Amino acid sequence: MSGQHWSKPQVYEIRFRGHLDVRRAQMFEGLEMAQEPDGETVLTGPVIDQAALHGILNRIRDMGVPLLSVKQLAQNEADTERNGAP
């Protein structure tokens, strides 16, 4: 079984419990990071393929923080997230 290759990067929102220090935040370069007041962190951005997505999820697992959700965003949702529009 071969990995799934996408014709263009898919945008994901990945949410986990906890905030990251600067060193750990650098592990997710290329993704926008929002540390929310409720203690959750949200990573949003393009992911080139399934292998890259699994790599991100493995880094979160290795940090020992609870993964709360992984959501693929439709293009219009991704644009809204990036532009901060309601």
Number of residues that make up the chain: 86
Cα(31)–Cα(44) distance, integer angstroms? 5
8-83 has CATH 3.20.20.370 classification:
no
Domain ranges within the chain, ordered by starting residue: 8-83
pLDDT (tens digit per residue) in 11-67: 999 999 999 888 888 999 999 999 999 999 999 999 999 999 999 999 999 999 999
Residue 1 in this model has a pLDDT that exceeds 50: no
Quickly count: other Cβ atoms within 10 Å of residue 57's Cβ.
Answer: 15
Residue 1: enclosing H or E segment and its boundaries?
none
The reported pLDDT for the residue numbered 78 is: 61
Asked whether the whole model's pTM tops 0.85, one would answer no
Q: Of 28, 7, 8, 10, which Cα lies nearest the Cα of 19?
A: 28
